[in-house]
């Protein structure tokens, strides 16, 4: 995946017939050129992704495939951007149903239901992945700042850095210099982006603590405890406190559960205190999660704890009805 500046706008001829591949999105016109009748297009061999765009019926319709569909009815210089580029990359995103295409001039904007077209500057940065043009990761971060909340955007930033799509230094540099519409929100979010974050829920748990005013925990630090290395999701090493996220919905293997219990005992034996959280602790009862961690962190005398927790977390972590 190589990043490049947008070339000067030019129109290129349609794809030649020999490049036609029914397992990739294609237009009705391309189907006709390949000898596929309109009647055949509505039959069991094909499926419609959007008006005028089809694909073979046995191709799984993934979010990434749908995101790339508008490009086949756009000018060749267009590229997938915003949430569509995120879906193609596999970025963890909330539900954002509209597809996004960026072009260089207003006259090139595609007009399709469910597609939002953006006019972008010639300095835009794009990459090509598996033949699909899309916004480069650092630019995508700025674009998504127009669509996402602070916490969701930090989730994206952590994921991009963790997956090696962009370095944290490049992300900060690009956000700092950008004049795009989402630049201010991106700059507010990028200061929270960290390396080595293993999951979106780890990001959310960390952001809950940070927005409440806790001193920021270390992310996925490894420690040699004498009998082997341990790595903790979130930790305050100075006071030997660990906060971890458990993504299991149920215990699938008794042996695994026993190992987890043993690991918890090992932490206690080594003088570390651990709190484990699940999805409901973040999405349903964030206030109780904060209470649990606040009691522990104050008990161990963590330096930097505020006299009163901030309410800055509340807009991003609403308490669900029935969980008061």
Integer CA distances (angstroms), 209 to 137, 218, 278, 312, in order: 27, 12, 15, 10
Q: What is the pLDDT of residue 9?
A: 47
Looking at per-residue pLDDT, the higher value among 201 and 272 belongs to 201
Comparing CA positions, the residue from 100, 109, 113 lying closest to residue 181 is 100
Q: What is the pLDDT of residue 323?
A: 79
The predicted-structure confidence for 179-216, as pLDDT tens digits, reads as follows 999 999 999 999 999 999 999 999 999 999 999 999 99
101 beta partners: 80, 117
Backbone angles phi, psi at 95, to 5 degrees: -70, 120
Cα separation, 184 vs 193, in Å, equals 15
Cα separation, 183 vs 309, in Å, equals 29
Going by pLDDT thresholds of 50, 70 and 90, the confidence category of residue 254 is: very low
Neighbouring CB atoms inside 10 A of 88's CB total 24
Which tokens is 71 given?
A: 């490009």
56 beta partners: 46
CB 81 within 8 A of CB 87: no
Burial class (CB in 10 A: 0-12, 13-18, 19+), 164: exposed
Domain ranges for the chain: 4-135, 148-195, 200-299
CB 296 within 8 A of CB 275: yes
Cα separation, 1 vs 157, in Å, equals 18
What integer best gives the mean pLDDT of the chain?
89
Tell me the torsion sign for CA atoms 133, 16, 7, 110: negative
Phi and psi based region of residue 52 (left: phi greater than 0; alpha: psi -120 to 50; beta: remaining): left
Side-chain half-sphere exposure of 135, counting CA atoms within 13 A: 28
Cα separation, 50 vs 71, in Å, equals 11
Mean pLDDT of 308-312: 98
Going by pLDDT thresholds of 50, 70 and 90, the confidence category of residue 224 is: confident
With a cut of 70, say whether residue 30 has pLDDT above it: yes
The predicted-structure confidence for 40-54, as pLDDT tens digits, reads as follows 999 999 999 999 999
CB 235 within 8 A of CB 242: yes
Q: Which segment of 20-24, 90-94, 178-182, 264-268 scores lowest on mean pLDDT?
A: 264-268
Q: What is the pLDDT of residue 223?
A: 79
With a cut of 70, say whether residue 256 has pLDDT above it: no
CATH code matching the domain that covers 200-299, chosen among 3.40.960.10, 3.30.420.240, 3.90.1310.10, 3.40.50.970:
3.40.960.10
The predicted-structure confidence for 234-245, as pLDDT tens digits, reads as follows 999 999 999 999
Q: Which segment of 80-84, 122-126, 251-255, 307-311 scores lowest on mean pLDDT?
A: 251-255
Q: Which residues contact 102 (CB under 8 A, 6 or more apart)?
A: 78, 79, 80, 81, 82, 117, 118, 119, 120, 124, 135
With a cut of 90, say whether residue 285 has pLDDT above it: yes
Q: What is the pLDDT of residue 18?
A: 59
Q: What is the pLDDT of residue 247?
A: 80
Neighbouring CB atoms inside 10 A of 247's CB total 10
């Amino acid at each position: 995946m190589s990043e490049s500046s947008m070339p000067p706008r030019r129109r290129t001829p349609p794809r030649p017939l020999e490049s036609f591949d029914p397992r990739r999105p294609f237009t009705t016109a391309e189907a006709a050129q390949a000898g596929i009748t309109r009647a055949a297009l509505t039959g069991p061999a094909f499926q419609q992704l959007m008006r005028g765009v089809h694909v073979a019926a046995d191709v799984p319709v993934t979010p990434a495939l749908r995101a790339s569909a508008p490009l086949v009815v756009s000018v060749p210089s267009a590229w997938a951007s915003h949430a569509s580029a995120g879906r193609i990359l596999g970025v963890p995103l909330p539900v954002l149903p509209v597809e996004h295409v960026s072009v260089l001039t207003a006259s090139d904007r595609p007009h399709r239901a469910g597609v939002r077209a953006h006019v972008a500057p010639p300095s835009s940065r794009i990459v090509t992945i598996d033949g699909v043009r899309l916004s480069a990761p650092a630019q995508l971060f700025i674009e998504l700042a127009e669509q996402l909340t602070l916490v969701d955007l930090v989730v994206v930033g952590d994921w991009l850095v963790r997956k090696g799509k962009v370095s944290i230094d490049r992300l900060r540099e690009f956000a700092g210099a950008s004049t795009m519409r989402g630049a201010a929100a991106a700059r507010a979010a990028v200061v929270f982006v960290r390396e080595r974050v293993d999951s979106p829920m780890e990001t959310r748990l960390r952001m809950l603590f940070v927005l409440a005013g806790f001193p920021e925990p270390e992310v996925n630090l490894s420690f040699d405890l004498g009998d082997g290395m341990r790595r903790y999701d979130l930790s305050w090493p100075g006071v030997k406190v660990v906060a971890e996220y458990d993504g299991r919905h149920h215990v699938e293997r008794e042996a695994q559960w026993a190992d987890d219990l043993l690991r918890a005992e090992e932490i206690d034996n080594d003088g570390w205190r651990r709190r484990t959280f699940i999805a409901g602790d973040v999405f349903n009862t964030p206030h109780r999660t904060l209470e649990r961690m606040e009691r522990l962190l104050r008990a161990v005398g963590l330096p930097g704890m505020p006299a009163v927790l901030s309410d800055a977390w509340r807009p991003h972590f609403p308490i669900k009805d029935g969980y008061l």
